[in-house]
């Protein structure tokens, strides 16, 4: 189970991505976020996990690759 604040931030990510990709179903967006979140399971430092989850899901959904 995710900490309450982390879950809230991930839920906000789903909303932002759903608005960014209106041609995708909410289930597709949610599934992409879930896959990205699972990628970070077990990460001991959780501060940036919601941001990283959103970036990974955005890339999967068709967003432009981000450069460092």
Q: What is the pLDDT of residues 3-57, one digit of tens each?
A: 899 999 999 999 999 999 999 999 999 999 999 999 999 888 889 999 999 999 9
Give the pLDDT score at 3. 82
**Residue 65 half-sphere exposure, CB side, CA atoms within 13 Å?**
2
Q: Quickly list DSSP for the chain.
A: ---HHHHHHHHHHHHHHHHH-TTS-HHHHHHHHHHHHHHTTT-S--TTHHHHHHHHHHHHHTPPPPP-
* Domain ranges for the chain: 4-61
Q: How far apart are CA 51 and CA 64, in angstroms?
A: 16
């Amino acid at each position: 189970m995710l900490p309450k604040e982390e879950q809230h931030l991930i839920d906000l990510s789903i909303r932002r991505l759903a608005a960014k990709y209106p041609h995708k179903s909410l289930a597709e967006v949610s599934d992409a976020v879930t896959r990205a979140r699972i990628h970070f399971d077990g990460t001991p430092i959780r501060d940036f996990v919601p941001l990283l989850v959103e970036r990974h899901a955005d890339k999967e959904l068709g967003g432009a690759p981000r450069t460092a």
